[in-house]
Amino acid sequence: MGQVRAMRSIDEMLEGLKTRGELLTEKEIRGVIARAKEIFLEECNVVHLSSPVTVAGDIHGQFYDLLTLFEIGGELPQTSYIFLGDYVDRGGNSVETLLYLVLLKLKWPSRITLLRGNHESRQITQVYGFYRECLRKYGTPTVWRLCTELFDYLVVGALVDQRVLCIHGGLSPEVKLLDDLAGIQRLGEIPDVGAFGDIVWSDPSSLVEAWAVNPRGAGYLFGERVANEFCHLNDLDLIARAHQLAMDGYLYQFDSVVTVWSAPNYCYRCGNVGAIMRLTKHDPSFAIFTQRPQTQPPPEPTQPPTYFL
């Protein structure tokens, strides 16, 4: 009979993923997720943080580009991070991406904040690749089930210096004040309608004055007037979000809303760069990075890109 591998430490699992692309065993994943749930459960819906902190947008399973992101932005614990969600789907290494971030959360819980995106969902991950990746790498849906249970515990926002609100998607007509975010019941699947769904699905639009139907089929389009009123009511300088491809890595839709995108050459074909945003007591600054050179061709995306999602 073959030897059963002993449970490794957090450092050993991180090093295995980073240097050898070594997957965690199902037993290790079960233990890691159980511990992570306890940490996330202690966090409020909106985590309050102080600068300096670095904000990262969608990763979408581009694990090797995530490693570049840390090289550009600085490793933990010297640098603190907020990740805005969408860790899985579309890229070929969603398992590695998600578990690497969760392991960092276990090691330095106060130095990394993980928000929930619209792809941290059972329904979406069954369509856009994560479910199939788990089946391909582990042979059963158990790892997918464990990971999607963890999604239910992720927070919905972060507030930096009481001045910058970080969320995945956008605003909701049901959220007038920051205190309204505290009332969201986040421990469960993201609902199709309501404040929680809007926060992870909505998009800013210069073509809209107030609110409009979102072509994605969930959330809303919201205009500059809505964004400015929300910032005024809540004494905010900026709303930082992800959720939409930005060819230059980041994009100011309005003075009060910036999109950060951290998956360079999205879907291995879009030709965009990635970016991270550094928040300090001064104006935000950005660092740009390109797709990491691979020793072999990147895996094909598991689903043709549907940019609305």
Q: Which amino acid is at 256?
A: S
| Cα–Cα dist 264/143, whole Å | 27
| Cα–Cα dist 182/267, whole Å | 34
Query: Is 119 annotated as catalytic?
Result: yes
Tokens (6 digits) for 290? 């390109």
| Cβ 102 vs Cβ 108: under 8 Å | no
| Cβ 84 vs Cβ 263: under 8 Å | no
| Cβ 274 vs Cβ 69: under 8 Å | yes
Helix segments in the chain, DSSP class H: 10-20, 26-41, 63-73, 94-107, 122-125, 130-138, 142-151, 178-182, 195-201, 224-233
- Phi, psi of 197, deg, nearest 5: -60, -40
Q: Which amino acid is at 135?
A: L
What are the beta bridge partners of residue 250? 260
Q: What is the end-to-end Cα distance of the chain in Å, rounded?
A: 46
Q: Which of 60, 119, 168, 243 is catalytic?
A: 119
Tokens (6 digits) for 291? 């797709």
| Cα–Cα dist 131/190, whole Å | 17
- Phi, psi of 239, deg, nearest 5: -110, 120
What is the set of active-site residues?
Answer: 119
